[in-house]
Chains A and B, each alone.
Chain A
Amino acid sequence: MKNFLRELSRDTPGMIGFVIVIIVLALSVFASVIAPADPLEIDVYNRLASPSWQHWLGTDQLGRDIFSRVLYGGRVALKVALISISVALLCGLLLGMIAGFGPSWLDRILVVCFDTMRSFPTVMFALAIMTLTGPSLNTVIAVIIITSIPVYARVVRTQTLAVRNLDFILAERAMGASTLRILRDHILPNISAPLLILASMDVPAVVGMEAGLSFLGLGVGPPTASWGSILNDGYSYLRNSPWPIIAGGIPLILVTLGFTFLGESMRDILDPKLRGKGALNQ
């Protein structure tokens, strides 16, 4: 870890990304302490105000303090990212290992399923499901999990296949080591680095997806603040005040740049072989 930080400090974009990520995390976690106002408090006499000392990023159409809403919106974004990425990662790990280490017929079926899942444009798929279930944050999380699993599973499968036929693994198997032991002791350590990098690079996509669905009015319901719903509110009052849109977009851009730069840097440090992968997952 110490080594990693030292390497990171040599890479300027990586360091910038790291700092942004830390700041965003801190602001979101301590939103309740930092926020100057209650994000839900309505002030009808002060609607769509421009930034001032009282309201750093102005107010929205109900007079709520946008800066506070952005901070609380970060909580939603990070909650979605944390839950959906970790669940998708675990499921992907499991399915990928089964595909990579299991019988070949099972592998073929799983690969076809993964590939088919990837043939849907993600947002369209999400909308189809949301028509049936109705809008809610939990559905957003579920949809992100379902669409992310194949991405992780594919990487795990490829890595598992690569490790599986290494000489020392074959030797271990010949010695009678159980499949479970081989997976735990040899394959897991080998695939954890690429998976962590992939997960880091995936954060912007997931956060963007949540914001996008909330922007479409299909994520968090009012009055809860999310970066997407701030943008949605702002879009309706676009001609009255640009501030809600400016304020809602900045954290999304920062999170994207931060995690991407950090992920790129991590990849270069931990696993140079992986260059060029993972940047594209809808």
Chain B
Amino acid sequence: MLEYVIRRSGLALVILLLAVTLLFAMIHMMPGDPASILLGPKASPELKAALNQRMGLDQPLLVQLARFYADLAQGDLGTDVFSNRPVLEMVLEQLPYTIVLVLAAIGGASLVGIPLGCYSAIRHNSLLDRLVGVMSVAFIAIPSFVIALYLLLLLSVKWRWFPAMGAGDSGDIVDQARHLVLPALALGLGWVGYIARLVRTSMLEVMEENHIRTARAFGLSERTIIVHYALRIAVLPTVTILGLGIGTMLSGALFAEIVFSRPGIGKLLHEGVLTRNYPVVMGSVLMTTAFFVLCTLISDVINAMLDPRVRDGESS
């Protein structure tokens, strides 16, 4: 197990390093340079040169890349152009809000979706099953910010069931939870049917396998068979896809944070873009990418915990 985690972490690190490099390359291939963006089009060439020098942008590309890596390794993501605060500090301040939101959404969607998929598989062709079948594909594709806006309009502005703005008072768990409901719902709603469908498909496959017949032949209860013998195998593909789905969710979280004026990485990033605060934008993007890579790593580790064949590097 430990060996697997180490092996998989190494791979995650390589992917992250490549992603960072690619991002760096992209930015330098794009038209426009940070100095004129920050200072606006009317800035004098002298001022631009000074800023470029301060940010190290006058150096050769490879030197810049090396400095970029060195800074990253020290946890230095640069400083905010306006407030001079370290970007890392700002990002770490906002990150927990986003993580809580994404986890709430993914957890809620799994809690409803997995039993729903299980039920659909056991009672397949029932009304509920067919409903899940039709809804699952379409709901995941509806942009989550549209769902967020509709929820805001209906549950918050019209019916006033839930607060519309912010993340709640710090220290007041109940208030924070109330503020979490709508953004998490907007983010997770589409996933319920999608997860249900994934679980249903693999559940139907697993229930046909020989070892399930063996379990039945030993008189194990249908409950034990479904929960311990079948579901454990049937959730494996879902865990992988959820790990990848975090990427989609992080994009969705940005919209949810903006729609519900909730603090978080997405909101920080959006403000950074609007004020052309280049270091903040880069820092936020890097941090979300790192978080995403970490999530795919975690989903693979969960997979390995559930499936000994993955742990031993055997393809299942």
Contact = CB atoms under 8 A, between A and B. Distances in A.
- Determine direct contact between A and B, CB below 8 Å: yes
Contact of B30 (A122, A132, A205, A218): A132
B95 interface: no
Nearest to A207: B143
B288 A124 contact: yes
Interface residues of A, number: 53
B143 A212 contact: yes
B289 interface: yes
A134 interface: yes
Given A121-B251, A242-B158, A231 B285 contact: no
B310 interface: no
A198 to B, nearest CB: 13
A153 interface: no
Contact of B282 (A112, A123, A128, A280): A128
Given A124-B288, A127-B269, A217-B274, A116 B18 contact: yes
Interface residues of B, number: 59
Interface in A177-215: 201, 204-205, 208, 211-212, 215
The B interface is mostly helix, strand or loop, or mixed, namely helix
A119 interface: yes
A261 B157 CA distance: 32
A128 B150 contact: no
A256 B138 contact: yes
Given A116-B19, A122-B251, A252 B285 contact: no
Interface of A: 13, 112-113, 115-125, 127-134, 201, 204-205, 208, 211-212, 215-218, 231, 234-235, 238-239, 242, 245-246, 249, 252-253, 256-257, 259-261, 264, 276, 279-280, 282
12 contacts: A118-B247, A121-B248, A131-B273, A131-B278, A208-B141, A208-B146, A231-B145, A239-B157, A256-B143, A257-B142, A264-B137, A282-B247
